[in-house]
Structure 1
């Protein structure tokens, strides 16, 4: 299968006008908005906390803030999982497409849909288990702030749900438009 330069998602979707594609757009916008907000808020908080702690080490006799290690540990998983979901949306994860490129268009579509179903099922199991572990570790708290250890597991579980939603939106696009609907990341975003 030779890949041609497909139209951007929004132009292809407007051309077909499918209800499934409208649903995919809604899912993508909601997930992107939520993930970008999480990245922005946690990124600013991490930068502010770590910068303030570095300054405090030189200014305060105590050598910094005691909470400055605990809070980043609770915020960083949210930052990472939001980035994971956005990377899925933009096709930024690593993929091996040696078999896919040898299939005809319908075979590639079927393979992608089966792959998406496996991904959604796997992430559903991971999210379920993360919620279970969050419940188990909820009694553990950090020594200074008293924050529950479960927050990190909630980040993992909700990040998995975001990946499921994003993968579902991709599957809808592939089902309606074919394998060309898969996103191709910009080289400057991937370091290629």
Structure 2
């Protein structure tokens, strides 16, 4: 179904949401590609180094992936939410009709936003406690991964708020639809 085209302030709100989503998507894609490439190159180099170096590889090769992996995962989570690549059961939405589906989606988005705000708050409190715990080789604080998760959740909140704005203005048809190859029947 083709999306209705809003006008006036609604069109401006949709354009703003689109711009924010574009910046978030491009940033997360750069992170996924960059960090994924770095992880692959580093692990490949470490495998080679095991055969060449007397030390059996690079000492940091265990710690760095542990610190980079949360960045990689959270960027992917944000992209998944943006593209509608999360698990959804839409049977009830179809039964509710257009206005009922809009209301249910908006309530669902509000629950996600509220839950992630609370979760982010608790993660930040935990991160403050773990700054003193550092990795043995590189000295990176354990709080780093928790801050990464909090940033990722903040981006999910932004993306979810954008989706909620689109649904409120344009209706349930504004929800993202994943590519057919990404759908499971």
| TM-score, L = length of structure 1 | 0.90
1:35-184, aligned counterparts within 5 Å?
Answer: 35-184=28-177
Give distance in 1, aligned partners of 2:84 and 2:91.
Answer: 17
Q: Structure 1: which 5+ residue stretches go unaligned?
A: none
Greater CA drift, 182-191 or 137-146: 182-191
Taking a change above 3 Å as real, the CA distance of residues 190 and 65 of structure 1, as seen in their structure-2 partners, is farther
Partner residue in 1 for 2:23: 30
Q: CA deviation at 1:91?
A: 0.2
Q: Does the 8 Å CA contact 1:137/1:150 hold for their aligned counterparts?
A: yes
- Aligned partner of residue 91 in structure 2, secondary structure: coil
Give distance in 2, aligned partners of 1:190 and 1:100.
Answer: 18
| TM-score, L = length of structure 2 | 0.93
Q: CA deviation at 1:31?
A: 1.1
Q: Structure 2: which 5+ residue stretches go unaligned?
A: none
RMSD: 1.4
Partner residue in 1 for 2:6: 16
Q: Does the 8 Å CA contact 1:6/1:181 hold for their aligned counterparts?
A: no
Give distance in 2, aligned partners of 1:162 and 1:190.
Answer: 23
Give distance in 2, aligned partners of 1:191 and 1:66.
Answer: 41
